[in-house]
Amino acid sequence: MSALPPDMDAAGFARLLGELRGAVGSDWVWSGAEDMFPYRDSFSPVWNTGEERHASAAVAPENVEQVSEVVRIAKRHRVPLFPISTGKNFGYGGPSPNVNGSVVLDLKRMNRVLEVNEARNYCLVEPGVSYFDLYRHVEERGLKLMLDVPDPGWGSPIGNALERGVGYTMPHFRDHFGAHCGMEVVLPDGEIMRTGMGALPGADTWQEYPYGFGPDPAGLFAQGNFGVVTKMGFRLLPLPEYYRTGLITVPKRRDLIKLIEHVNYLSDSGMISEVRFASPLSSRMADPDFAALATKLGGPSDVEMDTAAEAVDLPSWAVDLQFLGPQAATLAQWEYAKDRILSDIPGAQAIAGDHFKLPATEQQLENTTQPYASGIRRKAALGVPSLGIWEIVRDDGHVGFFPVIPRDGEAVFEAQRVLGDAQREFDLPPYFSAITVPLFWHTHTFQMVFAPSVKHDDPEHNAMVHRAMKKMVAVAAEHGWGDYRASPIYQDDVSATYSFNDHILRRFHEQLKDAVDPDGIIAPGRGGIWPRRFRS
Amino acid sequence: MISRRSLLKWTAVAPALAAGSHAAFARMPHGLDALLLDERFSPEPQPGQPLIPVMRFAGDVTRVWYDHLDRRWREPGYVLGGITGSDALFVLENLAEQHGRRVVSRTVLDEPHFQGVAPISWVIAPHHPSVLA
Ligand SMILES: Cc1cc2nc3c(=O)[nH]c(=O)nc-3n(C[C@H](O)[C@H](O)[C@H](O)COP(=O)(O)OP(=O)(O)OC[C@H]3O[C@@H](n4cnc5c(N)ncnc54)[C@H](O)[C@@H]3O)c2cc1C
Residue B26 is predicted with a pLDDT of 40
Model confidence at A72: pLDDT above 50: yes
- Does B129 contact A393 at a Cβ distance shorter than 8 Å? no
Residue to probe by mutation, ligand 1, list A151, A175, A223, most atoms within 8 Å of CB: A151
Name which residue sits closest to atom 13 of ligand 1, judged by CA.
A151
Residue B42 is predicted with a pLDDT of 74
Model confidence at B24: pLDDT above 60: no
Residue B11: CB partners within 8 Å, gap ≥ 6?
B32, B35, B81
Choose the catalytic residue: A92, A135, A243, A431: A92
Residue A491 alpha carbon to ligand 1 centre in Å: 15
Mean pLDDT value of segment A236-259: 98
Candidate from A117-121, A209-213, A272-276, B45-49 with smallest mean pLDDT: B45-49
- Separation between Cα atoms, residue B91 and residue B96, nearest integer Å: 9
Residues on chain B touching A108 (C-beta within 8 angstroms)? 98
- Does B98 contact A390 at a Cβ distance shorter than 8 Å? no
Candidate from A115-119, A218-222, B106-110 with smallest mean pLDDT: B106-110
Angstroms from B120 CA to nearest CA on chain A:
15
- Does B98 contact A153 at a Cβ distance shorter than 8 Å? no
Residues A513 and A530 sit within 8 Å (Cβ to Cβ): yes
Looking at the predicted complex, does its ipTM rise above 0.90? yes
Residue B43 is predicted with a pLDDT of 67
Mean pLDDT value of segment A149-170: 98
What secondary structure letter does DSSP report for A7?
T
Going by pLDDT thresholds of 50, 70 and 90, the confidence category of residue B104 is very high
Going by pLDDT thresholds of 50, 70 and 90, the confidence category of residue B21 is very low
- Separation between Cα atoms, residue A523 and residue A71, nearest integer Å: 12
Model confidence at B23: pLDDT above 90: no
Residues on chain A touching B67 (C-beta within 8 angstroms)? none
Probe site for chain B from A363, A387, A393 (most B CB atoms < 10 A): A387
pLDDT tens-digit readout, A350-397: 999 999 999 999 999 998 899 999 989 999 999 999 999 998 999 999
Going by pLDDT thresholds of 50, 70 and 90, the confidence category of residue A2 is confident
Residue to probe by mutation, ligand 1, list A42, A108, A126, A160, most atoms within 8 Å of CB: A160
Model confidence at B16: pLDDT above 50: no
pLDDT tens-digit readout, A184-200: 999 999 999 999 999 99
Residues B62 and B92 sit within 8 Å (Cβ to Cβ): no
Average pLDDT over all residues of chain A = 97
Residue B10 is predicted with a pLDDT of 52
Name which residue sits closest to atom 40 of ligand 1, judged by CA.
A229
Name which of B91, B97, B98 is nearest A387 (Cβ-Cβ).
B91
- Does A388 contact B60 at a Cβ distance shorter than 8 Å? yes
- Does A86 contact B87 at a Cβ distance shorter than 8 Å? no
What percentage of residues in chain A have a pLDDT greater than 70? Answer: 100
Angstroms from B60 CA to nearest CA on chain A:
5
Is the residue at B133 inside a domain?
no
Could you tell me which residues are beta bridge partners of residue A245? Answer: A322
Measured in degrees and rounded to the nearest 5, phi and psi for residue A88 equal -110, 35
- Separation between Cα atoms, residue A353 and residue A358, nearest integer Å: 15
- Separation between Cα atoms, residue A520 and residue A531, nearest integer Å: 6
Name which of A42, A108, A387 is nearest B61 (Cβ-Cβ).
A387
- Separation between Cα atoms, residue B88 and residue B115, nearest integer Å: 13
Helix axes A459-478, A409-423, angle to 10 degrees: 140
Q: What is the DSSP string of A411-451?
A: HHHHHHHHHHHHHTTS-S--SSSTT---B--STT-EE--B-
Residue B50 is predicted with a pLDDT of 73
Mean pLDDT value of segment A140-165: 98
Residue A296 burial by Cβ neighbours in a 10 Å radius (0-12, 13-18, 19+): middle
How many CA atoms lie less than 13 Å away from B100 in the CB half-sphere? 22
Angle at B101 between CA A37 and CA A391, to 5 degrees: 75
Q: What is the DSSP string of A321-389?
A: EEEEE-HHHHHHHHHHHHHHHHTTSTT-EEEEEEEEESSPPHHHHHT---SS-----HHHHTT---SGG
Q: In angstroms, what CA-CA distances link A178 with A89, A126, A181, B110?
A: 19, 18, 8, 49
Residues A247 and A351 sit within 8 Å (Cβ to Cβ): yes
- Which residues of chain A have a Cβ shorter than 8 Å from any chain B Cβ? 27, 38, 42, 86-88, 108, 132, 136, 152-154, 385-388, 390-391, 393
Q: Which domain holds residue B70?
A: 4-128
Residue A87 alpha carbon to ligand 1 centre in Å: 7
Name which residue sits closest to atom 18 of ligand 1, judged by CA.
A89
Residue to probe by mutation, ligand 1, list A89, A105, A134, most atoms within 8 Å of CB: A89
- Separation between Cα atoms, residue A20 and residue A59, nearest integer Å: 7
Mean pLDDT value of segment B26-52: 75
Distance of CA A487 to the CA centre of its chain: 11
* A to B CB pairs, distance under 8 Å: 42
Name which of B59, B62, B70 is nearest A386 (Cβ-Cβ).
B62
Q: What is the DSSP string of B12-80?
A: HHHHHHTTSS-HHHHT-TTS-SEEEEETTTSPPPPSS--SS-EEEESS--HHHIIIIIHHHTTSS---E
Pocket of ligand 1, beta carbon within 6 A: A 83-91, 93, 95, 107, 127, 150-152, 155-156, 158-160, 162-163, 165-166, 228-229, 389, 392-393, 523, 526
Cβ neighbour number for residue B98 with a 10 Å cutoff: 19
- Does B62 contact A153 at a Cβ distance shorter than 8 Å? yes
Q: Give the nearest chain B residue to A387 (CA atoms).
A: B62
pLDDT tens-digit readout, A302-329: 999 999 999 999 999 999 999 999 999 9
Going by pLDDT thresholds of 50, 70 and 90, the confidence category of residue B17 is very low
Task: Please confirm, yes or no, whether A336 is among the known catalytic residues.
Answer: no
Q: In angstroms, what CA-CA distances link B3 with B44, B48, B85?
A: 10, 18, 15
What secondary structure letter does DSSP report for B114?
B
Cβ neighbour number for residue A292 with a 10 Å cutoff: 10
Q: In angstroms, what CA-CA distances link B89 with A17, B55, B83, B85?
A: 32, 14, 9, 6
- Separation between Cα atoms, residue A448 and residue A417, nearest integer Å: 12
**How many residues are there in chain A?**
536
Is the residue at B117 inside a domain?
yes
Residue B133 is predicted with a pLDDT of 85
Mean pLDDT value of segment B41-70: 87
Q: Give the nearest chain A residue to B129 (CA atoms).
A: A27
Residue A239 is predicted with a pLDDT of 98
pLDDT tens-digit readout, A407-451: 999 999 999 999 999 999 999 999 999 999 999 999 999 999 999
- Does A391 contact B130 at a Cβ distance shorter than 8 Å? no
- Does B95 contact A386 at a Cβ distance shorter than 8 Å? no
Residues A236 and A147 sit within 8 Å (Cβ to Cβ): yes
Q: Give the nearest chain A residue to B65 (CA atoms).
A: A387
Number of domains making up chain B: 1
Residues A374 and A320 sit within 8 Å (Cβ to Cβ): yes
Q: Are strands A237-238 and A145-146 parallel, antiparallel or unpaired?
A: antiparallel
Residues A281 and A435 sit within 8 Å (Cβ to Cβ): yes
Residue A104 is predicted with a pLDDT of 98
- Strand, coil or helix: what is A273? coil
Is the residue at B86 inside a domain?
yes
Q: Cis peptide before A488, with omega less than 30 degrees from 0?
A: no
Task: Please confirm, yes or no, whether A265 is among the known catalytic residues.
Answer: no
Choose the catalytic residue: A377, A484, A490, A533: A484
Mean pLDDT value of segment B17-25: 38
Average pLDDT over all residues of chain B = 82
What secondary structure letter does DSSP report for A221?
G
Going by pLDDT thresholds of 50, 70 and 90, the confidence category of residue B93 is very high
Task: Return the closest-CA partner of residue A178 out of A442, A423, A374.
Answer: A442
Model confidence at B12: pLDDT above 70: no
- Does B62 contact A388 at a Cβ distance shorter than 8 Å? yes
Residues A104 and A97 sit within 8 Å (Cβ to Cβ): yes
Q: Domains in chain A, please, with CATH?
A: 10-108 (3.30.43.10), 113-235 (3.30.465.10), 242-279+316-386 (3.40.462.10), 404-490 (no CATH)
Angstroms from B49 CA to nearest CA on chain A:
28
Is the residue at B51 inside a domain?
yes
